[in-house]
């Protein structure tokens, strides 16, 4: 086996405008890993630099919780940023909601408890997770919910009860703060 890696060493799992996610296998541990590759120019052009740095800073804190995606390491080239993360192979919760339409109450509680546990842990680390949606929750091979995408997180929030920045998914941001998040999901039909 060659010690050099090239594009054919990886499998493309997800492709978006400015990022790609590849499946790789560690030669040292034989563990499946996800490599998130972001184009620096596109990150700057989309004004996502702060979000990408926030995500990296949250991940670099060596978060140790079973329901949070872990960063193994990160590096960069002159044109790209690379995050080497846990590979979570069960798909987005959003996909499962669309496919199955209705979950049993037991299964819903199962996911809700895991998400609440992950959010509670982040809060204990003074991190506010501000992008909770089914697309940012992945299921692992055993069916556990894993929180991903830390780009909109607010760090060092212990001294503040609220944040002053406006962020979030555009369709959710259109609603006033008086509406409850889960009412929005029912209005849009996501979980109805």
φ, ψ of residue 123 to 5 degrees: the values are -65, -35
CA dihedral 38, 41, 44, 50 (to 10 degrees): 30
φ, ψ of residue 185 to 5 degrees: the values are -60, -40
* Catalytic positions: 131
| Encoded tokens for 129 | 């997770």
């Amino acid at each position: 086996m060659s010690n050099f890696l090239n594009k054919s060493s990886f499998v493309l799992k997800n492709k978006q405008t400015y990022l790609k996610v590849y499946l790789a296998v560690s030669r040292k541990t034989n563990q499946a890993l996800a490599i998130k590759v972001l184009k620096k120019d596109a990150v700057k052009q989309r004004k996502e630099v702060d979000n990408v740095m926030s995500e990296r800073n949250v991940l670099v804190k060596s978060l140790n919780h079973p329901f949070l995606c872990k960063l193994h390491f990160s590096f960069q080239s002159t044109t790209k940023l690379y995050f080497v993360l846990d590979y979570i192979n069960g798909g987005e919760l959003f996909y499962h909601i669309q496919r199955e339409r209705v979950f049993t109450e037991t299964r819903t509680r199962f996911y809700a408890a895991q998400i609440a546990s992950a959010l509670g842990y982040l809060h204990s680390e003074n991190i506010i997770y501000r992008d909770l949606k089914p697309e940012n929750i992945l299921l692992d091979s055993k069916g556990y919910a894993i929180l991903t995408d830390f780009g909109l997180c607010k760090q060092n929030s212990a001294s503040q009860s609220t944040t002053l920045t406006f962020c979030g998914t555009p369709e959710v941001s259109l609603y006033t703060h008086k509406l409850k998040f889960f009412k929005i999901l029912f209005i849009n039909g996501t979980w109805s």
